């Protein structure tokens, strides 16, 4: 993959997720009948939250941005020190910075060196509550970092999977590593296997897609890793159901009735399966994939965000409708993160890039 192509794909992934999130945000808590009644037989077809037809992303994208920030800071640390391994703890600190932007007090004992450094936490546009998930808020306020060894709760909410795409982009060299890191970072806030394994599965799929593999192969590869993990059954069954539905409706469009057989997307394995179904069905059509993913009576912004990450990565930024890109509020923040993910790090063991250090200090 050339650097130019990589930048296009990574921007497609991050921008695509933010766009899907923004499109689905206004209908997240509406049932399907209410969506149709308010927006017509086809449901939402464009941004509808603001009167100037602009879209605004939610906590889903906010947390994805801070996931990326944590991983980039960890990558910078590894480049300078010559060894890695601190990404989970550093990403937890990034999540605490997100918690700070939500108006929640962060205990001083939880903060590490340089807590308020870096560019992302300085962006005041992110200091806005956009229906943040209660599980993420409560877990991060607990002063404890959840882990596989010491689960913080028994939640499997989709707050794991909607934020994890940057893990696959950063660890794209090895799907197994991407899976493991996705699991660990998901477990920071969610302790149920179906929650953190969904995060791992998506990270593996994103890693393979970024290497140019097709979606079906990427899913199969990820499922082989998943099956070796204890407690994998719910995630495996839901993703298998999505694949079966894609085959069943191969020559037909999918709609609310088909999606509802999977669920509403409030829990991780359902949100992931709905997104994979939409991506499988419309792999080269960003607009159809995302609009299908949001127009159902469930967690529309999360299923839209995950679908946008997957299909956006496959088609690249250039194939995402320009009008949706132009009307996405705070697009510049999302773009900057996408570009920086495609770079990875500007420093190395013998050279600390001053600008990069200011953006992503290695701690």
Per-residue pLDDT of the chain (363 residues), as tens digits, is 677 799 999 999 999 999 999 999 999 999 999 999 999 999 999 999 998 999 999 999 999 999 999 999 999 999 998 888 899 999 999 999 999 999 999 999 999 989 999 999 999 999 999 999 999 999 999 989 999 999 999 999 999 999 999 999 999 999 999 999 999 999 999 999 999 999 999 999 999 999 999 999 999 999 999 999 999 999 999 999 999 999 999 889 999 999 999 999 999 999 999 999 999 999 999 999 999 999 999 999 999 999 999 999 999 999 999 999 999 999 999 999 999 999 999 999 899 999 999 999 999
CA distances from 210 to 11, 50, 171, 239, 276 (A): 11, 33, 10, 20, 16
Please report how the helices 59-81 and 300-315 are oriented relative to each other, as an axis angle in degrees rounded to 10.
Answer: 50
- The length of the chain in residues reads 363
The CATH architecture one would assign to domain 3-357 is Orthogonal Bundle (1.10)
Residues 6+ apart with CB under 8 A from 296: 32, 256, 259, 260, 264, 265, 274, 303
Dihedral sign (CA 19, 25, 27, 29): positive
pLDDT, residue 1, reads 67
Kindly report the pTM of this predicted structure.
Answer: 0.97
């Amino acid at each position: 993959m050339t650097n130019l192509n990589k930048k296009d794909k990574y921007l497609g992934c991050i921008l695509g997720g933010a766009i899907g999130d923004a499109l689905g945000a206004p209908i997240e808590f509406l049932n399907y009948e209410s969506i149709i009644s308010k927006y017509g037989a086809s449901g939402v077809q464009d941004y509808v939250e603001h009167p100037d037809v602009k879209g605004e992303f939610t906590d889903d994208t906010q947390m994805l941005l801070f996931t990326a920030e944590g991983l980039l800071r960890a990558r910078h640390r590894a480049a300078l020190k010559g060894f890695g391994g601190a990404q989970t703890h550093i990403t937890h600190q990034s999540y605490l910075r997100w918690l700070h932007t939500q108006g929640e007090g962060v205990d001083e004992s939880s903060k590490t060196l340089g807590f308020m450094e870096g560019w992302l936490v300085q962006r005041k546009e992110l200091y806005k509550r956009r229906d943040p998930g209660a599980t993420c808020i409560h877990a991060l306020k607990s002063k404890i970092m959840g882990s596989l060894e010491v689960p913080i709760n028994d939640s499997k909410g989709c707050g794991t999977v909607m934020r994890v795409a940057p893990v696959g982009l950063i660890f794209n060299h090895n799907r197994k590593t991407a899976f493991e890191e996705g699991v660990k970072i998901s477990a920071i806030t969610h302790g149920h296997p179906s929650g953190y394994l969904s995060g791992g599965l998506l990270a593996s799929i994103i890693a393979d897609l970024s290497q140019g593999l097709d979606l079906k192969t990427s899913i199969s590869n990820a499922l082989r890793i998943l099956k070796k993990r204890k407690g994998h059954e719910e995630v495996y069954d839901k993703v298998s159901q999505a694949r079966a539905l894609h085959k069943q409706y191969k020559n037909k469009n999918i709609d609310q009735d088909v999606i509802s057989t999977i669920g509403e997307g409030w829990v991780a394995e359902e949100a992931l399966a709905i997104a994979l179904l939409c991506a499988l069905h419309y792999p080269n059509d960003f607009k159809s994939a995302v609009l299908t993913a949001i127009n159902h009576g469930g967690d529309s912004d999360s299923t839209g965000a995950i679908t946008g990450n997957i299909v956006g990565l496959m088609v690249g930024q250039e194939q995402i409708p320009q009008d949706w890109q132009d009307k996405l509020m705070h697009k510049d923040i999302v773009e900057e993160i996408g570009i920086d993910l495609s770079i990875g790090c500007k420093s190395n063991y013998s050279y600390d890039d001053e600008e990069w250090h200011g953006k992503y200090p290695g701690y």
